[in-house]
Structure 1
């Protein structure tokens, strides 16, 4: 019989009331911030299904806003995230959609950085404060942020995967899990590499230049 972990029983450290609607939502907001790689200037957030129906009551909107400000699920500032965002001059707009989506707790978060960078994330909160990111900038991905995660967006062509994995091996970084997605042969592709060690920021530039067709590299 599988033993239950303490986390499974008592849940995550968080500002309530709901691990899925609040803690998970805050993590989705923070992941969007990390993928942007700079301060958020503006955000457009669409909530679906259960997120949309009970989002205000459970603080989903405030939690996502807090995540976009860099707050963790247990940060008491989540309660005042709207006010803090306004003080910082950050414009965060929410839409509560009536459309069906891929999961009852789904958020689409489009963030605009101070430099003009734009990142759009589609993610779901699966319970217990856990999340899964399903899309980044329209490309299919799948990761949970339980491990250090490297995202590579590239053109599907021979040799790209081997060059990237060799770059990690050269730095002594072990790959725990890896997934590759593509729209079609020789077209847009994405790579999700979850590692046992953190990927140093200085390695990102090396990976970006290690093979032709690599368009964007991010780490979480």
Structure 2
């Protein structure tokens, strides 16, 4: 992993004690909350490797729940996030999982609200930086370091073009794009990192494009 500056190594402004186990965990939780797009009422958090061994001492549990509540890494409410979630009626369960993973700081978060549910795998790669590697069974590489949109669509001719043409018309430059599908002709997922935040009116236009099922966005 290459760092752009000394601040990437030091880590972000945060509630401690660890940039990887606390700040990174909070960012994974917040990414899950952002992609879900609404408050969950329950969460199952599977912790692997170093996360599983040290999560209570390093505050990984409170950080992930703080992220699910929408708190930033420097929000002092993170230390009380488990109590806040309980007050909201959330049912949150943590599991120390012994399965092997590619990275020691890995978590699988399942959240839902009785109507919708979502499953996400996130990795804290150091210095508070994270990567989302799986979303609802789709493999991906989403850093969260840039504004992005995630587009669920039918695997049909023209779906990708319908999205990129709208972005081009609004002069939004694509920095990186990744497309994956589970099977031929089934649901597919576009991950598009862009140079600026995509405004709500553009999201609404994208939602009306051909073969588009659902859109989520990550803002800078």
Scaled by the length of structure 1, what TM-score is found? 0.92
Q: Secondary structure at the match of 1:203?
A: helix
2:217 is aligned with 1:219: yes
Instruction: Map 1:38-49 onto structure 2 (within 5 A).
Output: 38-49=38-49
| Maintained 8 Å contact 1:141/1:191 | no
**In structure 2, distance between residues paired with 1:151 and 1:8:** 25
Moved more, 154-163 or 65-74: 154-163
State the Cα distance separating 1:167 from its structure 2 match.
1.0
State the Cα distance separating 1:73 from its structure 2 match.
1.0
For residues 153-172 of structure 1, give each alpha carbon's deviation from its aligned partner in whole angstroms, at most 9, with x where no partner exists. Answer: 22222211111001111222
State the Cα distance separating 1:206 from its structure 2 match.
2.1
State the Cα distance separating 1:3 from its structure 2 match.
9.3
**In structure 2, distance between residues paired with 1:40 and 1:155:** 26
Counterpart position of 1:183: 182
2:134 is aligned with 1:139: no
Counterpart position of 1:150: 149
Counterpart position of 2:82: 82
Counterpart position of 1:128: 127
2:74 is aligned with 1:65: no
| Maintained 8 Å contact 1:140/1:190 | no
Counterpart position of 1:206: 205
Q: CA RMSD of the aligned region, Å?
A: 1.7
Moved more, 29-38 or 9-18: 9-18
**In structure 2, distance between residues paired with 1:77 and 1:173:** 35
2:50 is aligned with 1:56: no
Q: Secondary structure at the match of 2:55?
A: helix
Describe the shift of the 1:9–1:217 C-alpha distance in structure 2 as closer, same or farther (beyond 3 A).
closer
State the Cα distance separating 1:31 from its structure 2 match.
0.7
**In structure 1, distance between residues paired with 2:167 and 2:8:** 33
Moved over 4 A (4+): none
Moved more, 181-190 or 2-11: 2-11
Scaled by the length of structure 2, what TM-score is found? 0.92
State the Cα distance separating 1:91 from its structure 2 match.
1.6
Structure 2: segments with no counterpart, 5+ residues: none
For residues 66-95 of structure 1, give each alpha carbon's deviation from its aligned partner in whole angstroms, at most 9, with x where no partner exists. Answer: 111111111111111111111122221111
**In structure 1, distance between residues paired with 2:185 and 2:39:** 34
Counterpart position of 2:112: 112
- How many equivalent pairs are there? 217
